[in-house]
Amino acid sequence: MTTAPHKLRPIRRDHRTDKVSIIDQRLLPHELVVIDLETVSDAVRAIREMAVRGAPLIGVTAAYGLFLAARAGAGRGVDDASLRQAARLLTDARPTAVNLAWAVARVLAATLAAPQAARPEAARRAADAVWEEELENCRRIGEAGLPLIRALHAERGGETVNILTHCNAGWLACVDYGTATAPIYLAAEAGIDVHVWVDETRPLNQGARLTAWELGQRGVRHTIITDNAGGHLMQHGLVDMVIVGTDRTTCTGDVANKIGTYLKALAARDNGVPFYVALPSSTFDWHLRDGLREIPIEERAPDEVRYVQGLAGNRLERVLVPPADSPAANYAFDVTPARLVTGFITERGVCRATEADIRRLFPDKGPPE
Amino acid sequence: MTTAPHKLRPIRRDHRTDKVSIIDQRLLPHELVVIDLETVSDAVRAIREMAVRGAPLIGVTAAYGLFLAARAGAGRGVDDASLRQAARLLTDARPTAVNLAWAVARVLAATLAAPQAARPEAARRAADAVWEEELENCRRIGEAGLPLIRALHAERGGETVNILTHCNAGWLACVDYGTATAPIYLAAEAGIDVHVWVDETRPLNQGARLTAWELGQRGVRHTIITDNAGGHLMQHGLVDMVIVGTDRTTCTGDVANKIGTYLKALAARDNGVPFYVALPSSTFDWHLRDGLREIPIEERAPDEVRYVQGLAGNRLERVLVPPADSPAANYAFDVTPARLVTGFITERGVCRATEADIRRLFPDKGPPE
């Protein structure tokens, strides 16, 4: 384990008591509440209602969800049908992120392979492995991306490097470091003067609530902007680089990420700003070739658009912004075509957004097409 | 006067009492409050604090503001210095919209030309003329844009025409009809099935609060979306046309409008969706040739980004979204280069976004360059 025990984590399994707990991210940044997941239903609900979110984290949460299902047999272990049913519930909790299905498939296979009595232990080990690998992948993504920031810093004669990010692909979305933020944290640790433009990321404001909070926790300089502002900043030379995460990326390089990412990619292209996507290999979908046609885009409740949550005085409050009878639509993700992506930052290094270059880094992954 | 007396107006002068009153748009859609403007300072404050907003409307409000200044002499009329001082205060209230300066210059000239005792009457007449012309211009913009919607309707075999708009360039931003919405209202009146995608328009949510409300008031079908969603909708063929307003447009066709407009123009271009800008000729700045370099972009208070206002239960409440100590930046406008604009819809018809075509429609306007 590479983790220091005092560090805040979006999910952890207590090694003494075996309790699985998460930070309820719906209440951040104003309340830091840790809740226990007791059953697979708790895990499904946490994923669906976005108490946990972010592609790597919902994968890890689902992995522990399956562990909770495996443990439910209370010593006797659970049968195949129950495990498969739990796996299906977890996988169906959200449709867009592929890590979810990947993590569940992996823990399910390891658990089914064990004799019934040994299944809780097998599931625990497999889930822990997912946890540790995602942590290690994020650290490596940071190391792979750091030279890009270092080069911009040199290019700018040592002046501040301004990086724009959308949504939260930070340590709150992973286990530590984050994906998009990993190179940023490593650059800050290396003494490079970085400043982050944080898209507030409507409708759920993961940028304003989560990315700003976690950057602040680690002392990284940042400024919150509306999702509308990035194009203007790029037109005026105020953005040196964009780094975002992704919920699913095809083997051809099409990137599903939080709604609005595509607009930032267009602006980056129009202004010659490099646009990078940081991801662990678990986020590649090796089966899909056309992101726009093939990646399912989740539609969520319109009230997530109509209501905004924040602090009124010292209590959390939800306010209705539009007229009570005006309808809203809530598409959660969009797809940025590979042609707009400068490169991918992965745990195995940086590659261009082409199938050939992706497969060069990951010759061992996915089915041959 | 072409107005029916019962119609709700964002600004009106009562012809009996001479009172000037506005709708306080900061409280819409949840409270409809009409406030009186008594002095030029009231008008300046209403413009600066955005009780009124929208390029044509702040021009009209400033025109009446100068009338209030001219009336302050209480029968004796006011001197040149006081009038010029009032004009400066009004013009400086907001930097980006050009209608403001245009309307003030026009009313100032008419007022100064009158003998001192006749100045209140001269100012009243000039301000009323601005009011009536902006109303008439909007109606004509509607007539000029209607054939574009009619053509799309035919092209789609009579199916719904989906129009995306950003911010509020509706009747609340003008005197009636609006600019961007004028063709939409006329299409709806003509029985064409139109549906409007309303960008919520952060940070002040003029789309969600104002455009949705005024479309609802007039029975036009609409759906509120986050500012992030338009690109995704265009990628999937769900937008037939974009129409936006503008706060200032150069004689070369560069368009300053609410922050985020540029991102929608990029997405429209990337997906072959026509992108139109509707404006009265008072919004052209005949002196500027390079919008990106020359149009001043207002920066407003960061708390407009950090706090969101809405209804909690049955009272208006402001909630803080990000961490209390996270800074925010608030650029109010951006500039969409002419190359991304399909055409302008003006009171004299439609033209392409080139200087030659703009000047073809308006040979009588502006200084020869």
Domains annotated for chain B, with CATH where assigned, are 6-133 (1.20.120.420), 141-361 (3.40.50.10470)
Q: Cβ contact (<8 Å) for B225 and A325? A: no
In this structure, are residues B305 and A310 in contact, taking their beta carbons and an 8 Å threshold?
A: no
- Element of type H or E holding B81: helix B80-91
* Cα separation, B326 vs A215, whole angstroms: 9
CA–chain centroid gap for B92, Å, is 17
Active-site residue, selected from the candidate residues A42, A176, A247, A334: A247
Q: Any idea what DSSP says for residue B44?
A: H
Secondary structure of B109-156 as H, E, C letters: HHHHCCCHHHHHHHHHHHHHHHHHHHHHHHHHHHHHHHHHHHHHHHHC
Contacts of B238 in chain A (CB under 8 A): none
As a whole number, mean pLDDT of residues B46-61 equals: 96
Contacts of B254 in chain A (CB under 8 A): none
Amino acid at A66: L
Strand partners, A299: A331
As a whole number, mean pLDDT of residues A231-259 equals: 98
Of all residues in chain A, the one with the smallest CA distance to B232 is A334
Q: Cβ contact (<8 Å) for A208 and B297? A: no
- What backbone torsions phi and psi does residue A168 show, to the nearest 5 degrees? -125, 110
User: Is A228 in CB contact (< 8 Å) with chain B?
Assistant: yes
pLDDT confidence of residue A75: 60
In this structure, are residues A195 and A165 in contact, taking their beta carbons and an 8 Å threshold?
A: no
Copy the structure tokens of residue A295. Answer: 């990646």
Amino acid at B140: R
Confidence of residue A238 (pLDDT cuts 50, 70, 90): very high
* Cα separation, B14 vs B122, whole angstroms: 17
* Cα separation, A214 vs A220, whole angstroms: 9
Q: Which residues in chain B (155-194) have CB-CB distances under 8 A to chain A?
A: none
> What order do you get walking across the sheet with A255-258 strand by strand?
A284-285, A248-250, A255-258, A333-336
The per-residue pLDDT for range A321-365, each reduced to its tens digit, is 999 999 999 999 999 999 999 999 999 999 999 999 999 999 998
Confidence of residue B367 (pLDDT cuts 50, 70, 90): low
The per-residue pLDDT for range B262-275, each reduced to its tens digit, is 999 999 999 999 99
Q: Cβ contact (<8 Å) for B200 and A202? A: yes
**Residue position matching structure tokens 């993590």:** A103
Sign of CA dihedral B223, B229, B234, B236: negative
pLDDT confidence of residue A4: 40
Q: Cβ contact (<8 Å) for A311 and B328? A: no
Contacts of A228 in chain B (CB under 8 A): 201-202, 227, 258-260, 263, 334
Contacts of B303 in chain A (CB under 8 A): none
Strand partners, A231: none
Q: What percent of chain A has pLDDT over 90?
A: 92
The per-residue pLDDT for range A78-97, each reduced to its tens digit, is 899 999 999 999 999 998 98
Copy the structure tokens of residue A263. Answer: 């607009």
User: Is A223 in CB contact (< 8 Å) with chain B?
Assistant: yes
Q: Cβ contact (<8 Å) for B228 and A327? A: no
The per-residue pLDDT for range A97-118, each reduced to its tens digit, is 899 999 999 999 999 999 999 9
- Residue B363, classified by CB atoms within 10 Å of its CB into exposed (0-12), middle (13-18) or buried (19+), is exposed
Average per-residue pLDDT in chain B?
Answer: 95
pLDDT confidence of residue A1: 32
Confidence of residue A5 (pLDDT cuts 50, 70, 90): very low
User: Is A202 in CB contact (< 8 Å) with chain B?
Assistant: yes
Average per-residue pLDDT in chain A?
Answer: 95
Q: Which residues in chain A (29-68) have CB-CB distances under 8 A to chain B?
A: 29-30
Confidence of residue B165 (pLDDT cuts 50, 70, 90): very high
Whole-number Cα distances in Å, B357 to B335, B352, B353: 20, 6, 7
User: Is A99 in CB contact (< 8 Å) with chain B?
Assistant: no
In this complex, the residue of B205, B223, B331 whose CB is nearest that of residue A229 is B331
State yes or no: is A247 an active-site residue. yes
Kindly state the greatest CA–CA separation across chain B.
65
In this structure, are residues A155 and A193 in contact, taking their beta carbons and an 8 Å threshold?
A: no
The per-residue pLDDT for range A134-185, each reduced to its tens digit, is 999 999 999 999 999 999 999 999 999 999 999 999 999 999 999 999 999 9
As a whole number, mean pLDDT of residues A259-266 equals: 98
As a whole number, mean pLDDT of residues B167-186 equals: 96
By DSSP bridging, strand B161-165 and strand B241-244 are: parallel
Determine the 3-state secondary structure of A146 from DSSP. Answer: helix
Q: Where are the alpha helices (DSSP H) in chain A?
A: 40-48, 55-71, 80-91, 99-112, 119-155, 182-189, 206, 212-217, 230-235, 261-270, 291-294, 303-306, 355-361
Which of A302, A306, A304, A308 has the alpha carbon at shortest distance from A329?
A302
Determine the 3-state secondary structure of A39 from DSSP. Answer: coil
Confidence of residue B3 (pLDDT cuts 50, 70, 90): very low
Amino acid at B339: R
By DSSP bridging, strand A20-23 and strand A11-13 are: antiparallel
Q: Which residues in chain B (314-333) have CB-CB distances under 8 A to chain A?
A: 317-331, 333
Determine the 3-state secondary structure of A61 from DSSP. Answer: helix
* Cα separation, A235 vs B337, whole angstroms: 10
In this complex, the residue of A226, A319, A320 whose CB is nearest that of residue B259 is A226
In this complex, the residue of A224, A319, A331 whose CB is nearest that of residue B322 is A224
Q: Where are the alpha helices (DSSP H) in B156-278?
A: 182-189, 206, 212-217, 230-235, 261-270
* Cα separation, B127 vs A85, whole angstroms: 72
pLDDT confidence of residue A326: 97
For chain A, percent helix, then strand, then coil, each to nearest 5? Answer: 40, 20, 40
Note if the bond before B56 is cis, omega within 30 degrees: no
Name the CA dihedral angle for B86, B91, B92, B96, rounded to a multiple of 10 degrees.
170
Q: Which residues in chain A (275-294) have CB-CB distances under 8 A to chain B?
A: 292
The per-residue pLDDT for range A56-70, each reduced to its tens digit, is 999 999 999 999 999
Of all residues in chain B, the one with the smallest CA distance to A195 is B327
User: Is B216 in CB contact (< 8 Å) with chain A?
Assistant: yes
CA–chain centroid gap for B324, Å, is 33
The per-residue pLDDT for range B67-118, each reduced to its tens digit, is 999 999 666 668 999 999 999 999 999 989 899 999 999 999 999 999 999 9
The per-residue pLDDT for range A271-323, each reduced to its tens digit, is 999 999 999 999 999 999 999 999 999 999 999 999 999 999 999 999 999 99
